Amino acid sequence: MTDSEILKDRLILAVDDEKDVLEIIREELSDYPGVRVDTATSFEKGREYLVSFTYDLVILDIMGVQGFDLLRIADSQKMPVVMLTAHALNPEALKESIERGARAFLPKEKLGSLVPFLEDVLKLSYQSVWRKALDQIAVVFDNKFGSAWRKSEQEFWDDFDKKLTMEEAVIIK
């Protein structure tokens, strides 16, 4: 499966209180045949979509739309979720995203690389996509919080690292 086929004919939900972010997401995905992007700017509308449709991928802002509450709903329906944030770009939100079942975490400053990121989320196993995402997030967090940002939750990060190394990189077909 080529990368250009991975997003083909996918149903994606994006929930963010910033309309310009939703427009960027829609624009980034517009070149892919058959991709439908539903968008919502509130928790209520996002919840309505989540209970009405089965999405191939859900992109949730953490702040402004109760993203963690929407994550709980999407995760209970086995929909893969990417958490997207600018204001909650911190180790606590990353940890909570993992604990609540998110498939990946993307800083809004990386929206320019949204398409390859989403392709990875859809084609790689849970461990593989988190390993790759954490490599990128670590650089941002190291710059923002210093290299010891995992220290306060060292046991969690050690356990999560072990979980990620239990499997070789896997591409889902």
* Total residue count of the chain as it appears in this document: 173
Among 169, 106, 172, 163, CA closest to 140: 106
Backbone angles phi, psi at 136, to 5 degrees: -75, -40
Identify how many contiguous H helices and E strands the chain contains and give both numbers. 8, 5
Determine the pLDDT at residue 110.
Answer: 87
The C-alpha atoms of residue 42 and residue 34 are separated, in whole angstroms, by 25
What was the pLDDT predicted at 70? 97
pLDDT mean over 35-51:
97
Domains for the chain: give ranges and CATH numbers. Answer: 3-124 (3.40.50.2300)
Q: Which residue has the higher pLDDT, 136 or 24?
A: 24
Rounded mean pLDDT of 14-23?
A: 96
Q: What is the pTM of this model?
A: 0.90
Instruction: Write the CB contacts of 108 (distance below 8 Å, at least 6 apart in sequence).
Output: 21, 84, 85, 86, 89
In this predicted structure, what is the pLDDT of residue 2?
44
Q: How confident is the model at residue 25 (pLDDT cuts 50, 70, 90)?
A: very high
Structure tokens at 87: 């204001």
∠ CA(94), CA(119), CA(126), 5° rounding? 50
Query: Contact 80/103 with Cβ under 8 angstroms?
Result: yes
